[in-house]
Structure 1
Amino acid sequence: MKNEPHEKIHHHRHPEIITRLKRAEGHLRSTIEMVVNVRSCLEIAQQLQAVENAIANARKILIQEHIDHCLEEAAGHIPTDARELLKEFKAVTKFL
């Protein structure tokens, strides 16, 4: 049995995710150039950290967006008392 693809939904934070991924892409291009040009390991490591941070931030936004919109869409209206638990769950995503 094949999984059915989810409906394509454009959320309001997708442009922010795209911006962060493009930033990661730019950092990665710079990192490659640094390796080609035999820059110092410290500089390359710093640039790689920038790549990782940009991707991690994009992932965090995507997960939070999913929690905010897709989960409620699938589960239906979420009562106010359950929203606090959801808020806490969302806060935990920053540790991913």
Structure 2
Amino acid sequence: MSSCNKKVLNRLKRAEGQIRGIQKMIEEEKECIDVITQLSAVRSSVDRIMGIIVAENLQNCLQNPEEDLNVQAQKIEQAVEMIIKK
């Protein structure tokens, strides 16, 4: 497993723990603002995870280019679009 995959999995596990915490907060009828704050933290965490994955794939694409330049350009364009959509 690559170091990037380990990093992504660790971040996903952390986000999973945060979501479980939010579920518990809702069960305990915690204040809405507290729940929203935690949901915002999870959203930020997921955004960072997506960024790591896109950056890794883009780096791989540039370091190991496709023989077909059109395919290569398409992959790079997809990665840029994913970054822009954030």
Query: Same fold, TM exceeding 0.5?
Result: yes
Would you say 1:27 and 2:13 are equivalent positions? no
Is this contact kept in 2: 1:35–1:44, CA < 8 A?
Answer: yes
Q: Which residue of 1 aligns with 2:35?
A: 44
From the superposition, tell whether residues 54 and 94 of structure 1 become closer, same or farther in structure 2 (CA, over 3 Å). Answer: farther
Q: Distance between the aligned counterparts of 2:17 and 2:35, measured in 1?
A: 14
From the superposition, tell whether residues 66 and 11 of structure 1 become closer, same or farther in structure 2 (CA, over 3 Å). Answer: farther
Query: Could you tell me which amino acid in structure 1 is paired with residue 8 of structure 2?
Result: I
Which segments of structure 1 move beyond 4 Å, counting only runs of 4 or more?
Answer: none
Would you say 1:16 and 2:7 are equivalent positions? yes
TM-score, reference length from structure 2: 0.72
Q: Distance between the aligned counterparts of 1:57 and 1:72, measured in 2?
A: 22
TM-score, reference length from structure 1: 0.65
| Secondary structure in 1 matching 2:3 | coil
Q: Which residue of 2 aligns with 1:60?
A: 51
Q: Distance between the aligned counterparts of 1:26 and 1:17, measured in 2?
A: 14
2:66 to 65, 72, 75: 75
From the superposition, tell whether residues 45 and 19 of structure 1 become closer, same or farther in structure 2 (CA, over 3 Å). Answer: same
Q: Which residue of 1 aligns with 2:83?
A: 93
- Aligned-pair CA distance for 1:95: 6.3
Give the total of aligned pairs.
75
Deviations 1:23-76 (A, max 9, x none): 110110000000000000000001101111111111110000000114543425
Structure number having the greater helix percentage: 2
Identity rate of aligned residues, in percent? 24
